[in-house]
Structure 1
Amino acid sequence: MDSVPEILARSGGWATSAQLLRATTRHQLNAAVERGEVERVARGVYGLLSLGPARLAALAYDGVVGYLSAAAAWQLPLLHKLEKPHIIVPVKRRPRAGRPAVLHWAEVTPDERRHRVTGLDRTVVDCTRVLPFGEALAVADAALRSGKLSSAELNAAATRMRGRGCPMALRIAAAATGLAESFLESILRSLLLEAGIDGFEPQVRIEHDGTWMRIDLGHRVLRIALEAEGYDFHGDRIAFAADCRRYDDLVAAGWLVLRFTYSQVLDDPAWVVATIRQAIALRTGHIRLLPSHPRLPLAQRRSG
């Protein structure tokens, strides 16, 4: 006779007690729970721990993993680690008692109930209901970059959306691109969009002396390059030299290069925007110093 975990694995990681008792005994089921091999997530419902806290919570509430938890399940980038799973429960249903979770009441499709997680297109537009513009754009960009969602599908999902967040969903769908290569690049682009700064394109390719280079965001007319620098750094002399040469080549090709770190983009967006505006003013011939943006120490900016 197969073990209880093996039976659950064949049924997608979870099953009701009635389903399990057709293939095993009550004694084996109780023993598997006592050994910690499976978890009783709700009355008459059992699941494997490998399902993870979000799906186990969905089973506990007889709901579906949605919103930010669905984004995590689809491996889309989130700025903050989730403290509680986000679960969608059917409209007008009074949820049964369960583990800590953020509950949302909405209709779900049969396919979503079967897999216990919202589809990728719905996940992206649902995130626009609860995330700031930049973070929602990063989620949408990553979904398009994965190749599992097309721009047409995202726009269709945003058009079908009803209720809170519809204007944001349409705005995100129009701005999202699969060309963005990182969360930080998406956030930097969102600052430009919110500030009304036009002309910058993601992943612009530049040729200089027979060598091709790519920049995160480039303004082809003004030849301004914006680079979003994450936490990664070059740890050896060869890589460091190659990085320096790349930026020297960009300058030699006539490009003004601005490099923004993770902390600058996330913690001091006003300074980032002001710096880009000043670079544009210099390039367009309006050579003037913009009003300086007061910059607080990093700890004060985060606490404030």
Structure 2
Amino acid sequence: MYDEDRRAHVAAAREAADRYGGVVCRVSAAMALEWEVRAIPFRPQITIPRHRRLKGIDLSAVQVRRMNLAPDQVDGAITTKPRTVIDCLRWLAFPAGLCVADSALRHGFPEDELCRLAATAKGPGSVMVRRVVRHADRRAANVFESALRAICISVPGLCVEPQVPIGGEDFIGTPDLVDVRLRMAIEADSFAWHGTREGLVADTRRYNAFVVHGWLVLRFTWDDVMLRPAYVREVLVEAVAAQTDGGADETPGYQ
């Protein structure tokens, strides 16, 4: 379903860019590059030159940004990969930006180039760019996992890494997210992954093995991660307190 929606959105964005003399940008451009994103925009996103008038553009059907892009920032009908990633990280909220950054790295965008873009970023959103890049990780398996990690990052005392094998020579499994110090294994639990009896049996045995070997296993659904992040954060805060014998966290909630 996501692939069908992505193709439809990208086609609409390309059509709008062609009709209004612009280029596909931001999240729409990320999708055109086949980078996974946290959420498909309600409207296609395009950039048009500053001198171009908005008259005749249906702003209820397309999101328009007016600015002059340099020739080396445009590749055909879309912004280049560097321009696309920096735009997304500059203007998106942290969880959505992290999803784009992880995806870009996963699809081969050079990590050193991403770091260079962050180091040279100036103006509005540059602080967010550097924050996202500091946490971006190509090991993230998918958007679901990236979004869950974004919540984890907001929890004091919790330091997770994606896709860390557990058990050494006596390999148990590779959870989505792991805090080695706290012995916490955090899973982005997909219904699709458990769509077969074999998948359910394998994961149930794996979770049991983690617990038997002293790991706290937490499982979160797509709906909770994407729609109820405050609940996810609350559970994580309580889990960290339990694992460290600490008190309740009084820091501001997840945004």
Smaller-chain TM-score range?
0.7 to 0.9
How many residue pairs get matched? Answer: 239
Tell me the C-alpha RMSD between the 2 structures.
2.4
Query: What do residues 64-87 of structure 1 show as CA deviations (whole Å, max 9, x unaligned)?
Result: 110121011012233333332211
**Equivalence map 1:116-155=2 (5 Å):** 116-147=77-108, 149-155=109-115
- 2:3 paired residue number: none
Query: What do residues 203-262 of structure 1 show as CA deviations (whole Å, max 9, x unaligned)?
Result: 111127733411111111121111111341423333221111111111122111011111
2:214 to 237, 242, 254: 254
Query: What do residues 139-178 of structure 1 show as CA deviations (whole Å, max 9, x unaligned)?
Result: 111111111x122211222333343211111111111110
Asked if the contact 1:218–1:225 (Cα under 8 Å) also holds between the matched residues in 2, the reply is: yes
Asked if the contact 2:38–2:100 (Cα under 8 Å) also holds between the matched residues in 1, the reply is: no
Alpha-carbon distance between aligned partners in 1 of 2:234 and 2:54, rounded to the nearest angstrom: 49
- Structure with larger RCO (C-alpha < 8 A, sep 6+): 2
Instruction: Tell me whether 166-175 or 112-121 shows the greater mean CA deviation.
Output: 112-121
- 1:196 paired residue number: 156
Code of the residue aligned with 1:142 in structure 2: it is S
Pick the structure with greater CA Rg: 1
- 1:223 paired residue number: 183
- 2:253 paired residue number: none
Asked if the contact 1:112–1:119 (Cα under 8 Å) also holds between the matched residues in 2, the reply is: yes
Query: Among the aligned pairs, what percent are the same residue?
Result: 36
Asked if the contact 1:86–1:103 (Cα under 8 Å) also holds between the matched residues in 2, the reply is: yes
Q: TM-score, structure 1 length as denominator? A: 0.71
Which runs of no fewer than 5 residues in structure 2 stay unpaired? 1-7, 250-255
- 1:159 paired residue number: 119
Asked if the contact 1:208–1:253 (Cα under 8 Å) also holds between the matched residues in 2, the reply is: no
Asked if the contact 2:172–2:209 (Cα under 8 Å) also holds between the matched residues in 1, the reply is: no
Alpha-carbon distance between aligned partners in 2 of 1:141 and 1:228, rounded to the nearest angstrom: 16
Asked if the contact 2:22–2:46 (Cα under 8 Å) also holds between the matched residues in 1, the reply is: yes
Higher strand share: 1
Which runs of no fewer than 5 residues in structure 1 stay unpaired? 1-48, 292-304
